[in-house]
Amino acid sequence: MTPTSFQRIGIYLKPGHEDAAEAVSQLLGFLESRGHTLALDEEAVRQTGRDDLRVTGGELPDRVDLAVVLGGDGTMLAAVRQIGPRPVPVVGVNFGSLGFLTEISRERMLPALGGILDGRCRIEERMKLRVEVRREGRVQEHFQALNDAVINYGALARIIEVEVSVDERFLTLYRSDGLVVSTPTGSTAYALSAGGPILVPTSRNLLLAPICPHTLTHRPLVLENTSTISIRLRSHGHVMLTVDGQTGVSLAEQDEVRVSQADHPARLVFPEAPGFFAVLRQKLKWGER
């Protein structure tokens, strides 16, 4: 799919963003003036009153060629999860705070989107994770993640024990506050706070990062994207698996969490400039005193 084929455009809006109505209405007018067919999620309809553009439930990804997300990185992650395996490209406008995925500022929304719709953009394929929870050998739950999967205690500040294997080969027993398995896109999220490296987001790797490990020589590990990581829980208590910081499930002792590359990547759209390194300098304030 090329930018010139972005005729049908869907709008996702961050829930509860009460001051967004004017900006969303401006965006709708801009897109309608260009002749695009529009579809809105429930929050965008609520803010604008455009019930004629409502698309209910999970039908929106099947009705659009491009998804425009107005919010922060969390809204982007939720939209990518709803789109699932469909090859719908997603572009983010930052109505939130940090915004590694939502590269376009609110003030630059209309000219930046106009440039993208005119073909001045880059489309990046970002690998996702497939995350399975297995109990007694059977898959109980499965998820997809653009950023990461995190295992830790849900409420108490306690160490957990997990036995980790890579491609059926034993790696180590981690005693730590938790464990992060991340994509390159997620390397600037929780994994970064856990001491992990920043990976170029279009690279193809898995990142395994313990959170505050009890063994100080346990360091983050970069693995090939073809690897399958098996994490078996050796602790009891209220241990949680959290996917992209938004979906969670309780784990029982001896549960296995299996993480691998998902079959279908996410397709993210960005303006031609500034690019990832410029975003790093800006968001992380590199070089500032």
Are 218 and 210 spatial neighbours (Cβ–Cβ below 8 Å)? yes
Gap between the Cα atoms of 192 and 165, Å rounded: 22
For residue 52, how many other CB atoms are within 10 A of its CB? 8
Q: Which of 41, 73, 244, 255 is catalytic?
A: 73
**DSSP, res 135:** E
Are 66 and 6 spatial neighbours (Cβ–Cβ below 8 Å)? yes
Are 44 and 13 spatial neighbours (Cβ–Cβ below 8 Å)? yes
Gap between the Cα atoms of 95 and 181, Å rounded: 27
Active-site residue, 148 included:
no
- Closest by alpha carbon to 17, among 67, 61, 98, 75? 75
Gap between the Cα atoms of 115 and 271, Å rounded: 7
Q: Which two tokens stand for residue 171?
A: 């790696």
Residues labelled as active-site residues? 73
